[in-house]
Amino acid sequence: MTAEFELRLTKLRQRMSADGQQALLVFSLDNLRYLANYSGEAAYGIVTMDQVFLITDYRFIEQAEEECFACQFICRNRDQQSLGQAIREVLDAEHVSSLLFEAGHINLQMWSGIAQELEGIAFAPCTGLIEELRKIKDEWEIAQIRKAAAIADRALHDSLPLLRTGVSERDFALELEYRMQKLGSEGLSFPSIVGFGPRSALPHCIPSEKKLAEGDLVVIDFGAVVNGYRSDMTRSFVVGKASTQQKKMYDTVLRAQQAALDSLHAGQPATITSSAASDILQASEFANYTSTGLGHGVGIQLHEQPFISPVCQDVFQANYVVTIEPGIYIPGYGGVRIEDDVLILDDGYSFISHAPKVFELPI
């Protein structure tokens, strides 16, 4: 792992140097995980051209020392030293006169208190600097996402026998989540989405006591976590034999997903992939029941750049990990969504999620 962290810091420092800045204040815990492997709370980072400082307190200092790569640690006494004072002390010791700060990860009140301590230092806001670097995953990151996806694949396989008439959305979600964590998931990638019957048309359905009935459409969206990296997969089912309408919905979504997948490769504008799926959905009888968002990056966060849509300006690069998840949602009737995590390659893509796409379930 040492080489991966060194390369991440090198790339970041190149960006900082290009902006003429000597240091960066990091407020995002996700970005601290990416740069230094810190998985705790209440910590702040300062990246200079040759050092990384992590400021925390007594609750997390031991954890930070055990986890973090190439950091100097500052255990701040919160009763005697403000965060601004701790930051200023580091900047003065490192002779920093100009720096960037992550404006999107700090509120105005907190920043005002810090800024009061930075008199004489030129500071400028930045947004998305580290997030831009995070879009391209290194081999270690890809391996963690693959492990998370494999846990989700296995948990779904083991849980499907429970998806029978009479089970509630909530009970099935709890069983699925329990199995993921028994298989090694560090908590949940996100609260699982489970919708039966008409509730499957809710894209982010919160599991309820609704019980599964014969003929119901089912949408299950869930994911696991390994070393802080997440998976995200959706499978849709029908209990028993599908009606003509249900089969048309499923086949349309499956064709839309495959069209998008067939368009994936490094150098492809995201809008082309978005259009590939949209063209099929819009040409179908379900055109009024679809959404414009096709997918997103996934990694340390569930939703990362790029966000694949008709207005996305991104051009895919090799080692992006993205979801492709078209859907049809008919209020009062039900929904179908099929989602996979995929790795973008120079000449195409490879699946990271592998659960079979079987629509009809036995009663």
- Gap between the Cα atoms of 273 and 268, Å rounded: 8
pLDDT of amino acid 363: 87
Tens-place pLDDT, residues 131-162: 999 999 999 999 999 999 999 999 999 999 99
- Gap between the Cα atoms of 303 and 306, Å rounded: 9
Tens-place pLDDT, residues 90-139: 999 999 999 999 999 999 999 999 999 999 999 999 999 999 999 999 99
pLDDT of amino acid 354: 98
Own/partner contacts of 51-57, CB < 8 Å, gap of 24 or more, are 51/94, 52/9, 53/90, 55/83, 55/86, 55/87, 55/90
Query: 0.85 exceeded by the pTM?
Result: yes
Q: What is the mean pLDDT of the chain?
A: 97
Provide mean pLDDT across the span 186-201: 98
Q: How long is the chain?
A: 363
Tens-place pLDDT, residues 27-72: 999 999 999 999 999 999 999 999 999 999 999 999 999 999 989 9
pLDDT of amino acid 308: 98
The region that residue 334 occupies, defined by phi over 0 for left and psi between -120 and 50 for alpha, beta otherwise, is: left
Are residues 116 and 84 in contact, defined by beta-carbon separation less than 8 angstroms?
yes
- Gap between the Cα atoms of 187 and 267, Å rounded: 35
Rounded to whole angstroms, what are the CA distances from 333 to 4, 286, 289?
Answer: 48, 12, 11
Longest dimension (CA), the chain: 72
Q: Going from the N-terminus, what domains does the chain have, and what CATH number goes with each?
A: 2-133 (3.40.350.10), 139-361 (3.90.230.10)
From the number of C-beta atoms within 10 Å of its C-beta (0-12, 13-18, 19+), residue 227 rates as middle
